[in-house]
Amino acid sequence: MHLSATAIVCAVLAHGEHGAVARLMTPEDGLLPGYVRGGRSRRLKPVLLPGNIVQAEFRARSEDQLAQLTVELVHSRAGLLGEPLAAAAIEWATALTAATLPEGQPFPTLHVALDGLIAAIEAAPSARGWGSALVLYELLLLGEIGFGLDLSACAVTDARDDLIYVSPKSGRAVSRVAGQDYRDRLLHLPPFMATGGPARDWADIHDGLKLTGHFLGRDVLIDRRAPLLAARERLIDRIKRLS
C-alpha cells in the first residue's frame, strides 16, 4: 500500500522510545493511522501538532499492517498554541474526529468541514467567530457516523416552519406550537442549525453546543471515549467565561 495525501493531523500517540503513531484525516481515504519514525524528535514534534496540515506518505506491505508514515509540514497552526481558547477548540475538534471515525473509510464532507472549522478558528480566535461552525461540525459528524438528527420537520405535526425545539429522545425537531406544553423537557434549536449560516448571538451558540453535546454524550462518547467529554466541558467553560 502506497498512499500520498495532504492531510490534517488529528491525534498523535507516543510509540516506543522515539516514535509516534499519528492519525491523519485525508480528503479521500478518511482517517488513517501511521507510524512516524522519530515522531517525537525536535524536528518532527512541531510538525505533528493537531490541526496542522501535512503532506503525508503512507507505505505498508499489506492493508493489515500499520503503515510507515513520513510527513512534511504544509501549514502550521503552532502560533495558536498561545491562544488558549483557539488551541482548546482545535484540540477538541481533532480529538473528536480521531476518536469517533472508523479508519480507512472516506468522509470527504467531514474533511472539508474540519478544514474549514480549523481555518475559521485560525482566522478569528474569538469563539463568536467560529462557535456556530463548531456546532455544525459536531452536527455533521453525528450524521456521518449514523446518529443524525432530523431537523427538517416537526415530529408531532410534520410542520416545517417555526421549529424551535428538539426532542432529547428522538432527535427530531419540534415546532413552537407542538412543544409549548413540554418546553421544559425539550432542547432549544437555534435557527442556524436548521438553515446554516452564522449564529445570531451567544445564546444561539450555547444552545447549539448543549444540543449536540447531549447526543454526543448519549450515543457516541461512551465507554472508553467518555473521557473526551471532559475536554469538551473545559472548552465550553472557556467559551462561557468569554461570552
Structural domain for 39, as ranges: 1-76
Tally of structural domains, the chain: 2
Is pLDDT of 120 > 80?
yes
Q: Which of 19, 43, 76 is the last residue of a domain?
A: 76
Is pLDDT of 216 > 80?
yes
Cell digits for 81? 498554541
Residues 10 and 122 in one domain: no
Q: Which of 55, 76, 97 is the last residue of a domain?
A: 76
According to DSSP, the residues that pair with 21 across neighbouring strands are 13, 35
Is pLDDT of 54 > 80?
yes
C-alpha to C-alpha distance for 154 and 174, rounded to whole angstroms: 4
At 183-204, the pLDDT tens digits run: 999 999 999 998 877 899 999 9
C-alpha to C-alpha distance for 87 and 187, rounded to whole angstroms: 28
Q: Which of 23, 53, 76 is the last residue of a domain?
A: 76
C-alpha to C-alpha distance for 3 and 5, rounded to whole angstroms: 7
- pLDDT category at 243 given cuts 50, 70, 90 is confident
Residues 25 and 70 in one domain: yes
Query: Considering the chain, what percentage of its residues have pLDDT values greater than 90?
Result: 87
Say if 177 falls within a structural domain. Answer: no
